[in-house]
Amino acid sequence: MPYLDDPLIIFTDLDGSLLDHHDYSWAPAQPWLDRLADNNIPVIITTSKTSAEVSALQQALALDHLPFIAENGALIHLPNEGNAALHLIGADYQRIRDVLVDLRKRYDFEFRGFGDVSPQQVADWTGLSLDDAKLAMQRDASEPLKWFGNTLDFSRMEKLLAEEGLARGGRFWHVMGQNAGKGQAVRWLTDQYQQRRGKTCITLGLGDGPNDISLLEAVDFAAVILGHHDQEMPLSKKEDEVFRTTLYGPEGWRQGLDHFIKVK
């Protein structure tokens, strides 16, 4: 098990993991966040949210000096002396929108993306406030869709997206570059840290949902946080590399770190 003085990197999902599923509080996790900061251990947010959604939250968590992974791994936000640089994995938003609009015109597919509707419609779909829906619409590298067509067209659409180098995944049809994903982003960013430090890093990931599986597979140690869902969370890791919490949200987050990180 790693110690606090090891070259650690923490990758964490937000909703239902670091943040409470209901009130979005991270209070139970704060003692660990403070301990990690005191030991210069980076905590990398890894989420389906957009950069606009993450930025204010990252500042509140005192993590704004660190990179973060957004849009389910399609985008990595890299801080650079006060200015932000973006590393896209796969296609950019305009390319994705152009392909989607073209496919809908050619094949009469029945779907709507965030780029097709108003902030109020996005708020209705997601349960977000109107202001938060506007932040969710500020996209760089992926497009959430609502599908209204039949199953046959659904399968055809997937095949056509693959031919364009695009893929889908997540709660909505979350269309992004084929090489994008939380796991790929975690591996890329880990490699950047290792190159900069000149040593192998130990990585620990925390997540609660199926869209976190690639994140949890990409790290050395994985804390599967008890989720508010009934979907399985299978991992191919060794038994001692996985811990499944008995608590939800930030309490489970704390439980996962208590299990894996040894304090001398």
Q: Give the catalytic positions in this structure.
A: 13
Q: What is the dihedral of CA 192, 196, 200, 204, to 10 degrees?
A: -50
Burial class (CB in 10 A: 0-12, 13-18, 19+), 27: exposed
Structure tokens, 222: 């994985």
- Phi and psi, residue 206, nearest 5°: -130, 130
Is 180 within 8 Å of 90 (Cβ atoms)? yes
Query: What's the CA gap between 163 and 13, in Å, rounded?
Result: 30
In whole angstroms, give the CA distance from residue 94 to residue 165.
14
Cα–Cα dist 189/73, whole Å: 11
75 closest CA partner among 59, 54, 105: 54
